[in-house]
Amino acid sequence: MDDRQTHFARIMVECGCTIEDVSVTLGMKLDDTIYAVAQSLKANPAELKRVRNIIAGRKLHIPAMHSGERSSVVLDIAAPMARAA
């Protein structure tokens, strides 16, 4: 995934598109899309809630340790689900 795809993915989420729509439109895997838009989910609280449910319900692979800013945001998204389990 290049910077341009990441940029468009973030814009789409901030404008109200669902994570699945972004993934299909840009031809990305769902877990890659979640990493790409993690910071933009703060602007769309309804989608943030849906992404948390997707992570918890589908048992997506979210690595425990990753370097980079976007990974820490994804781990913050997944953290409430991990505590609930």
pLDDT of residue 22: 92
Give the C-alpha separation, 78 to 49, whole Å: 10
50-61 pLDDT, tens digit per residue, is: 888 888 777 666
Q: What is the DSSP string of 4-35?
A: HHHHHHHHHHHTT--HHHHHHHHT--HHHHHH
5 has pLDDT over 80: yes
Burial class, 38, CB count within 10 angstroms (exposed 0-12 / middle 13-18 / buried 19+): buried
Domain boundaries, the chain: 3-84
Structural contact between residues 38 and 56, judged by C-beta atoms closer than 8 angstroms: no
CB atoms within 10 A of CB 64: 8
